[in-house]
Structure 1
Amino acid sequence: MKPAARRPLLLCALAAAAALSFLLVAPPPPLASLLLAFPASPYAGGPKLVFLLAGQSNMAGRGLAPSPLPPPFRPHPRVLRLAASRRWAVAAPPLHADIDTHKACGLGPAMPFAHRLLAGGAESSGLVLGLVPCAVGGTRIWMWAKGEPLYEAAVARARAALAAGGGTLGAVLWFQGESDTIELDDATAYGGRMERLVHDLRADLGIPDLLVIQVGLASGEGNYTDIVREAQKNIELPNVVLVDAMGLPLRDDQLHLSTEAQLRLGVESNDKYHHSLGIFYCRV
């Protein structure tokens, strides 16, 4: 695509990012339905092990929600989420309902991740988990660069999460890249942009060894998925680990992970977390 032809698309993407990031930065007006969906928690004021959820639609969740919900997706009193209003509430899917507002959100990997962590002994220790949704569907990695609205909003929400009761940022769960498979220059630049993103997050959050668990793409919107996947697998930074989604079942659109896939991804991400940085338990 010629630069002139791409300009309207880039302007639209920038406008969308700015509008969506406003929801992340500024507390929205009260929404009765969301307050009912995300009730307050008695653990809101205490320390938490916090996880930043960032990326695009497969992190926000597009998995269909069956009724009743499978146990790994159900609310738990010790699993909280930071709402768009920066208020801690009991986590219940869809976690990104007031964040990724331009699409109907469904089930993502974060709730199974949290349930797996509790089953591994965190519940008996009294640990409280804090999930911080920041993902926005359709975003490219350049839209998450330092100085861009989505990046600044994610950093602000991470800081707010730690300030509201204290605790430790355990990891960033990053699932993004499908939109970077459309154009060759985006795909070939992906690795460098991802490494820059990790450097900037660690510097701005003051955590030099911050764990980043990135998901290897299972699908893409364009023809360059393999290039992005290779870039993901070749990130040469410490404490950046890969959970590969390739082979997990997709929905009929062949882009978004199914509910079963999101459950398996959450479990595998937690196993990777335990293997990589279980030391965070003693840092809360």
Structure 2
Amino acid sequence: MIPLFIFYSYLVISVGVYGAASNKNIFLLAGQSNMSGRGGVVNLTWDGYIPRQSASNPAILRLAANLTWVTAVEPIHKDIDVLKVCGVGPGMAFANSLLRKAPRIGVVGLVPCAIGGTNISQWARGGELYNQMMRRAAVAVNGGGIIRGLLWYQGESDTLTLEDAKAYKSRLHQFFMDVRNDLHIPHLPLVQVALASVSGNYTNMVREAQLGMKLVNLGTVDAMGLPVQEPERLHLTTPAQVSLGKMLTNAFLRICNSKS
């Protein structure tokens, strides 16, 4: 495990277990359906099961669609990805895992922004999805706290055509750079997920782009091999989302250790 004093020194936080709401450690969650969360969703119905690793916690808040902070409860994208049925995603498991590994960090503020079925081109700077994410990020910071990282899981939609797959790496790189520039955090920790499922004919090309991305303070989690739901074999199961959340935590902490 990463020495906790290193993580604390990076966060520059000395609050108690829950801390003050104004000292939130803010994480943006963006991408498409597997970040939004489809764990437990079968035949357009969520089974309602929330594992203990994704349970609510007084130290975990969520920026709701109406731009107010509320206690985070799965599905945390339910009022964001409104055209789809949302279930369990990786965000709550990430936050709970982070609090277990570093229990003195204070409040974790999750800012859900993911929208199912979206292409990387739809997240380009100036587009609706990008602008909405930036608006929510600005509100989150104004409410007190610091943006600590971006969790990104997207790419299934870009495996369907050769054109999109070829352009994926450059588009993703530009997206990451634009986010850092517009947030004025040049070394913002980024944790991306390499695709877990074979979506289109060019899945391997997109995965190669993800796994080959090299940026300072970028961590890449390879989700291939995590269980996916039958029969569509596209979305992660609830247990897989829990595992992914823990993997995201470990990747983020490795970045923090490297920064220190």
TM-score, with length taken from structure 1: 0.80
Q: Deviation digits for residues 163-190 of structure 1, max 9, x if unmatched?
A: 112x211110000000000000000100
Q: Which residue type is aligned with residue 117 of structure 1?
A: L
Match of 2:52 in 1: 71
2:202 aligned to 202, 224, 227, which one? 224
- Quick one: which amino acid aligns to residue 110 of structure 1? G
Indicate conservation of the 8 Å contact 1:132/1:158, yes or no.
Answer: yes
Call closer, same or farther: CA 1:44–1:178 in 2, change over 3 Å.
farther
Identity of aligned residues (%): 47
Partner of 1:50: 26
In the alignment, structure 1 residue 196 sits paired with structure 2 residue 174: yes
Residue 242 of structure 2 corresponds to 263
- For the pair 1:277 / 2:253, whether they are aligned, the reply is no
Supply the distance in 1 between the matched residues of 2:122 and 2:20 (Cα, whole angstroms): 31
Secondary structure at 1:127 match in 2: coil
> CA shift at 1:134, angstroms?
0.2
Which whole-Å CA distance do the structure 1 matches of 2:235 and 2:49 have between them? 21
Provide runs of 4+ in structure 1 moved above 3 Å. 42-45, 65-68
Distance (Å, rounded) in 2 between the aligned partners of 1:245 and 1:110:
15
Q: 1:228 to 1:90 in 2, by over 3 A?
A: same
Could you tell me which residue of structure 1 aligns to residue 109 of structure 2? 130
Q: Given the alignment of the two structures, is residue 60 of structure 1 paired with residue 36 of structure 2, yes or no?
A: yes
Question: For structure 1, which runs of at least 5 residues remain unmatched after alignment?
Answer: 1-41
Q: Does 1:213 align with 2:191?
A: yes
1:116 aligns with one of 97, 111, 118: 97
Per the TM alignment, residue 219 of structure 1 is displaced from its structure 2 partner at its CA by 1.4
Letter in 2 for 1:103: K
Task: Give the drift of 1:68.
Answer: 5.4
Q: Structure 1 residue 156: deviation in Å?
A: 1.1
How many residue pairs align between the two structures?
237
3-state SS, counterpart of residue 163 of structure 2: helix
> TM-score under structure 2 normalisation?
0.87
Checking the alignment, whether the CA contact within 8 Å between 1:179 and 1:220 is kept in structure 2 is no
CA contact (8 A) 1:174 1:213 kept: yes
SS of the residue corresponding to residue 83 of structure 2 reads coil
1:236 matches 2:217: no
Q: Larger RCO: Structure 1 or Structure 2 (Cα < 8 Å, ≥ 6 residues apart)?
A: 2
Determine helix, strand or coil for the equivalent of 2:22: coil
Higher helix share: 1
1:110-164 per-residue CA deviation (whole Å, 9 max, x = no partner) reads 1110011111123xx2600000000000000000000111001101111110111
RMSD: 1.8
Separation (CA, whole Å) in 2 of partners of 1:81 and 1:66: 22
Q: What residue is the counterpart of 1:33 in the other structure?
A: none
| Contact 1:44/1:89 (8 A) holds in 2 | no
Contact 2:153 2:192 in 1 (8 A): yes
Q: Matches of 1:50 and 1:81 in 2, distance apart?
A: 9
1:232 Cα deviation from its structure 2 partner: 0.3
